[in-house]
Amino acid sequence: MTVRIVTDSACDLTDAEAAALDIDIIPLSIRFGDAEYIDRHELSVDEFYNKMSTSEHLPQTAAPAPGAFEEVFRKRLDAGAQSVVCINISAGVSATMQSAEAGAKVCGGDVLVVDSGSVSVGQGTIVLAAAEAARSGASAAEITDLVADLSARTSLFGALNTLDNLVKGGRIGGAKAMVANVLSIKPLLDISSGVVEEAGRQRTRKKALAWLINKVVEQGDALESVAIAHAMVDDIDTFTEHLCEATGLVEARVAVIGPVVASHGGPGLVAISYVLKS
């Protein structure tokens, strides 16, 4: 391949998925109080969820330093890549893309930094498609066009158990969280535009998950692909079965939500991402 793909750890791709397509994943940092960990390197997914369930501090995230991107960009270019395409978590929810752009500027090589406009499995689906295109010989320009096209056709919705993490991360006000907790409301979020927006609310988790399935069902024959992400929830197999039965899908890619997104979404989060046909 003459084009190499780089992304960040908000993509929620597994190590095996990344290795299969030679994708570089730049880790964000996760903080619990004064303790800071490098995602994937110093803190595994299992360790993160254990800490989130036992720590008195809610987790927070920090974007990688520009140097972390620069190092990987240079490594790929020095190894013979003609171009590098870096696909990041939406700039609407993270400063990660700014760091990538700064790293690319210092690097000075042929590096294109693009916004996925998504997070988690939405971002991951776009990254996988870009890496497949790179493997097939697509140019950097063709891959960035592909990313823009997929981003416009990708939707992402999530059902939360709590708003506490979003409040702590500054993504939503405390008043909404207080009302939601008092009324036992399960908030529904729409991140399709690359920013966190309220999509609705349900009074029970069962209804919230049914709402997610209905969002996919509503797309009918326009669906190209579907992916599911979850914060280590016990009922994800049942949810996946119900989704496939309702939509007629043979399968859907399922991913565990990593520390970056789970730090803000909190425990119990379930998300669905779908791409519409062009």
What average pLDDT does the segment 25-53 reach? 96
Confidence at residue 166, expressed as pLDDT on a 0 to 100 scale:
61
What pLDDT, on the 0 to 100 scale, is given for residue 228?
Answer: 98
pLDDT at 212 over 50: yes
pLDDT digits (tens, 9 = 90+) for 60-105: 999 999 999 999 999 999 999 999 999 999 999 999 999 999 999 9
The span from the CA of 80 to the CA of 266, in Å, is 41
50 and 143 fall within a common domain = yes
Question: 10 Å Cβ neighbour count for 41?
Answer: 10
Domain that holds residue 51: 3-152
239-249: burial string, b at 16+ Cβ within 10 Å, e else: bbeebbeebee
CATH of the domain at 210: 3.30.1180.10
Look at residues 108, 131, 152 and tell me which one is the last residue of a structural domain.
152
Q: Inform me whether the pLDDT recorded for 192 exceeds 60.
A: yes
pLDDT greater than 80 at residue 182: no
Q: What is the pLDDT of residue 183?
A: 45
Identity at 99, one-letter amino acid code: S
Q: Residue 195's closest CA among 119, 258, 276?
A: 119
Tell me what pLDDT residue 165 has: 58
Co-location of 178 and 131 in the same domain:
no
Residue 22's pLDDT is what?
97
Q: Residue 273 forms beta bridges with which residues?
A: 156, 227
Do 90 and 190 fall within a single domain?
Answer: no
State whether 163 and 133 are in the same domain: no
Task: Indicate whether 58 pLDDT > 70.
Answer: yes
* Domain match, 189 and 130 both: no
Write the DSSP assignment of the chain as a string of letters. --EEEEEEGGG---HHHHHHTT-EEE--EEEETTEEEEBTTTB-HHHHHHHHHH-SS--EEEPPPHHHHHHHHHHHHHTT-SEEEEEES-TTT-SHHHHHHHHHHHH-SSEEEEE-S--HHHHHHHHHHHHHHHHTT--HHHHHHHHHHHHHHEEEEEE-S-SHHHHHTTSS-HHHHHHHHHTT-EEEEE-TTSS-EEEEEESSHHHHHHHHHHHHHTTGGGEEEEEEEESS-TTHHHHHHHHHHHHT-S--EEEE--HHHHHHH-TT-EEEEEEE--
163 band by pLDDT with thresholds 50, 70 and 90: low
Q: Which amino acid is residue 244, in one-letter code?
A: C
The predicted-structure confidence for 96-134, as pLDDT tens digits, reads as follows: 999 999 999 999 889 999 999 999 999 999 999 999 999
Q: Which of 43-52, 154-163, 239-248, 266-275 has the lowest mean pLDDT?
A: 154-163
- The pLDDT value recorded for residue 198 is 86
The total number of structural domains that make up the chain:
2
CATH of the domain at 137: 3.40.50.10170
> Whole-model pTM?
0.93
Question: 143 and 55, same structural domain?
Answer: yes
Partners of 255 in the β-ladder: 229
Higher-confidence residue of 264 and 19: namely 19
Q: Are residues 7 and 144 in the same domain?
A: yes
Average pLDDT over residues 227-248: 95
Q: Does one domain contain both 158 and 148?
A: no
Name residue, tokens 């046909």. Answer: 277
What pLDDT score was predicted for residue 201? 86
My answer on whether 249 and 180 are in the same domain is: yes
